[in-house]
Amino acid sequence: MRQNEQPSALIMIFGATGDLANRKLFPSLYRLFEKGNLSENFAVIGVARRPLSNEQFQENVKKSVQSAASNEGENIDEFASHFYYHSHDVTDTNSYVFLRDMAAKLDEQYKTMGNRIFYLAMAPEFFGTIAIHLNEDGLTNVAGFKRLVIEKPFGHDLKSAKALNNQIRTAFSEDEIYRIDHYLGKEMVRNIEVIRFANAIFEPLWNNRYISNIQVTSSETLGVEERGRYYENSGALRDMVQNHMLQMVALLAMEPPIKLNTEEIRSEKVKVLRAMRTIKDDKVDKYFVRGQYGEGLINDQKVSGYREEQMVDPQSNTETFVAGKLLIDNFRWAGVPFYIRTGKRMKSKSTKIVIQFKDIPMNLYYKTEQTLNPNLLVIHIQPEEGITLHLNAQKTGNHMNATPVKLSYANTGIDGINTPEAYEKLLYDCMRGDATNFTHWDEVALSWSFVDNISQFWQKTPAQFPNYESGSAGPKESDVLLARDGFYWWPIGDLEVENC
């Protein structure tokens, strides 16, 4: 990437008064502007139903940036002056015509060369309607590039995802559609490829000869909060597994691409998703566990169970926890289980990947009756960022005993301060036309195809909920899932740096 590359574009943010725009998009655009990664030739049109003047909208943008920034930038007024507002009805052609004329004037004023980015930061049921209107009402008829950025969820299942994709494809080609998965913008997720393909000590071992299992965990301490209505129609399987978890598995399991470009990386990820073993009805309970949190303690504070949350059915069958065993039926990974685990109201907030290597063929320390700890490579994604390599070594005074030690790199110092927020990185990628860290339709379709079998089985088989306390590590059945194979979950914890 050329650090001084300054793309220019007119960005339309649909849902510009919403939470996502205020918490993520405006601060991320400001950081790009402040760092010089955004050309002076840019403009943003905020689009939403609420009636606001340009001045009111610019004040909202400044407040959003100030609340997110550690230091208020000197050029915040200049940044906000590039923002304009349009009160919009997504079903009204006249409103789109007004927006088209407004965009044409700003395009000329800011010399954006006809480059347009349409960011849909709003309810997914409007995605198809907006895309069709953008095409029919002339907003996509531009001299430069046009790109559509869409937040998850992309559909509710494979059938609805196909219908939505067909609507969007009436206005945008596949290479113009940028489906955001913000996990792919996280620094350590992007680092998976570097760790694998830039280190000779790892890539030769990255296969079923040397790895016994891989664990991917993403846990939250928060409950569903005010998202009860959404979560009742989603659940952890659709909300987390279909996108974030399977994307991380694909990056961990993919073959080395011919080149590090969008097409080749996507091609290898798709091959992984195609090779994942399908889980049919009678196998779901063997390979997957679901859970729903009950009341418990979080940070010594009592919290209610999921069924007591706002806008949640008191008899809800919706899962807030999923653990699963994935098998990838190809030459590299045959026989190696990929365990995934995600849940709400768990004992700590943590997203990490644990690669467990196989034990050595013979324990030379058997005479001392010492059990050797397995070698682990741990990739910490959030809240800390870093890598820990767990080894066995001799410490001074321990004679010939092997002692577990950790070699750690924590991205929490000076490097961490300058680590781009996930949305900042993804917005910059989109403006430069780099779709590597966005999901292709083939990935979406294959993920839904895999997940649908499980969700359909769960929908017709009521669960015994709640089955784990808030503040715990999830239901006991998830431990049994690994115990059957002779493994156990590695603890959910923070990155510990230890000098060896």
Residues carrying an active site annotation: 244
Do 220 and 157 meet the contact criterion of CB atoms below 8 Å apart? no
**Dist. CA 134–CA 114, nearest whole Å:** 15
Measured distance between the N- and C-terminal CA atoms of the chain, rounded to whole angstroms: 35
Q: What does R_g of the chain's alpha carbons equal in angstroms?
A: 24
- Give the H or E element holding residue 33: helix 26-34
Q: How far apart are CA 138 and CA 239, in angstroms?
A: 34
Amino acid of residue 127: F
CA 276 to chain centre: 20
Q: What is the DSSP letter of 192?
A: H
Residue 154's closest CA among 73, 246, 80, 228?
A: 246
Alpha-carbon span 35 to 69, nearest angstrom: 13
CB 479 within 8 A of CB 336: no
Structure token pair of residue 171: 């206005």
| Residue that the structure tokens 């998976």 belong to | 192
* Encoded tokens for 199: 């280190």
**DSSP character for 152?**
S
Residue in the structure block whose two tokens are 């991380």: 248
Q: Which residue in the block uniquely carries the two structure tokens 């669960």?
A: 463
Return the number of other C-beta atoms located less than 10 Å from residue 205's C-beta.
Answer: 16
Per the listing, tokens 């397995």 go with 374
Contacts of 285 (CB under 8 A, 6+ apart): none
Look up residue 305 and give its DSSP letter: -
Q: How far is CA 269 from CA 152, 251, 358, 389, in A?
A: 19, 6, 25, 25
User: How far apart (Å, rounded) are the C-alpha atoms in residues 393 and 189?
Assistant: 29
Alpha helices per DSSP H over 296-347: none
> Which among 469, 254, 232, 249 has a CA at the least distance from the CA of 341?
249
Q: Cβ(289)–Cβ(478) under 8 Å? A: yes
What's at 48, amino acid-wise?
Answer: A
User: Using DSSP, how many helices (H) and how many strands (E) does the chain show?
Assistant: 17, 18
CB 455 within 8 A of CB 282: no
Distance between CA atoms of 205 and 241, rounded to whole angstroms?
27
Helix, strand or coil for residue 151?
Answer: coil
Closest alpha carbon to 156 in 123, 120, 119: 123
